[in-house]
Amino acid sequence: DVKVTQSSRYLVKRTGEKVFLECVQDMDHENMFWYRQDPGLGLRLIYFSYDVKMKEKGDIPEGYSVSREKKERFSLILESASTNQTSMYLCASSFGQGTYNEQFFGPGTRLTVL
Amino acid sequence: AQSVTQPDIHITVSEGASLELRCNYSYGATPYLFWYVQSPGQGLQLLLKYFSGDTLVQGIKGFEAEFKRSQSSFNLRKPSVHWSDAAEYFCAVGARAAGNKLTFGGGTRVLVKP
């Protein structure tokens, strides 16, 4: 079974702190994704990556950055956390370049910024 | 750009009754369509997907969905709901031109009455 793990289930940070959310997948997937989930808005794509050291902006990249130094790991960084970044963050991965395959999701990290 | 609408935010259904969740999409070409389920405290799990071919798609947990191009819809159905089906359901659309990205609807939360 594909396993996507996220470093924390719950996280509480203060405004202005630098926050790292880590995601690791164990199936050698090329593609990795970061979403935020808010009630009524569904999932919105923040950033995604097709390969190591490659990244592309999603629909709501403002206030976020990402890092992918190893194929299995994709990090989401909040350079200076703000209260409007309080949300559930979901990581996903999928196999394949240029073809469409199922995305497998981690359990999520619920981030609260005070 | 593609978009997805799930018109029902909440649905309450009695155990044993049938369930239908609506999904309407907007996309210029033939889309890739997905239904995911998120149980409380869990990540998203794929229920079923449509790429091409037979417009009636069978999924896991007794769910099925029908692609209707003329109505731009991909509604999810289950003939008899179990208490364990209480969850949030997300419809998503993807497109080859969008580079493996998914666009999600806002979700429908299903409550099951005993």
Residue B37, pLDDT score: 97
Contacts of B101 in chain A (CB under 8 A): 45, 48, 58
Residue B98 pLDDT more than 90? no
**Is A38 part of the contact surface with chain B (CB cutoff 8 Å)?**
no
* Mean predicted lDDT score pLDDT of chain B: 92
CB A103 within 8 A of CB B102: yes
Number of helices (H), then strands (E), belonging to chain A: the values are: 0, 11
Residue B30, pLDDT score: 74
Q: What is the pLDDT of residues B41-97, one digit of tens each?
A: 888 999 999 988 889 999 999 999 999 999 999 999 999 999 999 999 999 998 766
Q: Give Cα B25 to chain centroid, integer Å.
A: 11
Mean pLDDT lowest among A41-50, A62-71, B89-98: B89-98
Residue A98 pLDDT more than 60? no
Contacts of B100 in chain A (CB under 8 A): 31, 48, 50, 94, 96, 99-101
Query: Closest to B43 (Cβ–Cβ): which among A48, A99, A106?
Result: A106
Nearest CA in chain A to B93: A100
**Is A94 part of the contact surface with chain B (CB cutoff 8 Å)?**
yes
Q: Which residue has the tokens 């470093």?
A: A7
Indicate yes or no: CB of A48 within 8 angstroms of CB of B94. Answer: no
Using CB atoms within 10 Å of the CB of residue B41, give its burial: 0 to 12 exposed, 13 to 18 middle, 19+ buried.
exposed
* B87-94 and B32-38 strand pairing: antiparallel
Residue A9 pLDDT more than 90? yes
